[in-house]
A = this chain, B = another copy of it.
Amino acid sequence: MTPKHTLVSLANELGVSRQTVSNAINSPHRVKPETLERVRAAISEAGYRPSAAGRQLRTRRSMDLAMRLYPSTDGINGSILDRFLHSLTESAQLEGYRLTLFTADDDADEISEYEQLLDTADLDGFVLTNTHHADARTDWLLEREVPFVAFGRPWSARSDPFDAAHAWVDIDGGAGTAAATEMFLARGHRKVGFLGWPEGSGAGDDRRSGWRRAMAAGAAGTDFAALTVSVEDSVRNGVRGAEALVAQGATAIVCASDSLALGAAAAWRQLMPDAGEPAVVGFDDTPVAAAVGLSSVSQPIEAAAQHTVSLLTHQLTGYGQTEPEQHLLLKSELVHRRSDPFITRGEPVS
């Protein structure tokens, strides 16, 4: 048996599952005695040394997880990933794991960080964020059988994310933008615009699709092209995007981010100073949205972080325990704010 043999090839040779081989090495009490004997015999016959055969066979764990830290952007939208980071660190520590951070320029750079971390720092597993189309990272990790969980579903037009070969947790952003759109429709608006990001970003397209779905169901004959503006994320682009949408006749705007919504609300107040509260909804329910009294779609980020840790600890040590949901899409929720904008925390709209 060469060092290139992995846990999977050993399992295939034996006709048992990968988990069974892992258990035979790491948690023999979890394996039926007769199976244990077979696996051990095969390992011994092959001169198999766990330490040379792949990380998943180690018995000593570093109790260390790793995640790439993205640069702060405008401090508004970035705060959602900082909240994830806090929750992840806290949830991981409850299970005895610490979190190591690294930075990277792109996917390729992130992958070479994985390599280095696996080589030198003895990492147990990874958490991926900002999943996107043609994400090279998941294939790389799957091939090497490195434990990991993605925060963000796999974005591929061709396959169902619920059939993915790896574990992921995500939040259903489309449900939140649909709820925001339905709220405006229920109040009599017919021309609800969507202010989002250029097509191609998974999360951005998901948020746009929620608006589109709600408009198709509730406002027959909508000219979708006329009521959509796509811009890069920033407060200033929110101002310009809202001006364009209002010029197209929009009477309310659902936004893909709080940065865009903040700009949209400012434009709204300038264009229609006497119109009262801007009919604008943001996304992420950031502290900025709370501070300015902006309605926004809230993500259950703490639950996402907790489930991420459950999935990872199960991959690392939990065979035999109840398996957590491998693909979990959590609900987002519209938080509606009015009155006293500077101190209202907002309440979920049922």
**Which residues of chain A have a CB within 8 Å of any CB of chain B?**
62-64, 66, 69, 71-72, 74-76, 79, 82-83, 85-86, 89-90, 93, 98-103, 117, 120-121, 235-236, 239, 262-263, 265-266, 269, 286-288, 290-292, 340, 342-343
Of the candidates B72, B83, B121, the one whose C-beta lies within 8 Å of that of A83 is B72
Does the CB pair B342–A262 fall under 8 Å?
Answer: yes
Does the CB pair A343–B235 fall under 8 Å?
Answer: yes
Complex contacts, A72 vs chain B, CB 8 Å: 82-83, 86
**A3: min CB distance to chain B, Å:** 23
Of the candidates B75, B99, B263, B266, the one whose C-beta lies within 8 Å of that of A101 is B99
Q: Which 10 A-B pairs have the closest CB atoms?
A: A75-B287, A266-B342, A82-B82, A288-B291, A100-B100, A89-B101, A99-B101, A93-B103, A72-B86, A69-B89
Q: How many copies does the complex hold?
A: 2
Does the CB pair B101–A98 fall under 8 Å?
Answer: yes
- Answer whether A74 and B287 are a contact pair too, CB < 8 Å, given A102-B93, A340-B266: yes
Complex contacts, A287 vs chain B, CB 8 Å: 74-76, 79, 286-288
Does the CB pair A62–B103 fall under 8 Å?
Answer: no
Of the candidates B62, B79, B103, B263, the one whose C-beta lies within 8 Å of that of A75 is B79
**A285: min CB distance to chain B, Å:** 10
**A246: min CB distance to chain B, Å:** 16
- Answer whether A102 and B76 are a contact pair too, CB < 8 Å, given A235-B343, A288-B291: no
Of the candidates B85, B93, B343, the one whose C-beta lies within 8 Å of that of A239 is B343
A62 to chain B: closest residue by CB = B121
Complex contacts, A75 vs chain B, CB 8 Å: 79, 83, 286-287, 290
Does the CB pair B90–A103 fall under 8 Å?
Answer: yes
Does the CB pair B342–A265 fall under 8 Å?
Answer: yes
Complex contacts, A266 vs chain B, CB 8 Å: 340, 342-343
* Assembled-state Cα–Cα distance A103/B262 (Å): 33
A70 to chain B: closest residue by CB = B86
Does the CB pair B103–A100 fall under 8 Å?
Answer: no
- Besides A75-B290, A99-B101, 17 new A-B residue pairs in contact (Cβ under 8 A), listed by A number: A63-B120, A72-B82, A72-B86, A75-B79, A75-B83, A76-B291, A79-B79, A79-B287, A89-B102, A98-B100, A98-B117, A99-B102, A235-B342, A239-B343, A263-B342, A287-B287, A288-B291
Complex contacts, A263 vs chain B, CB 8 Å: 342-343
Does the CB pair A71–B100 fall under 8 Å?
Answer: no
Does the CB pair B64–A100 fall under 8 Å?
Answer: yes
- Answer whether A121 and B102 are a contact pair too, CB < 8 Å, given A75-B79, A342-B265: no
* Assembled-state Cα–Cα distance A292/B66 (Å): 36
**A291: min CB distance to chain B, Å:** 5
* Assembled-state Cα–Cα distance A185/B66 (Å): 50
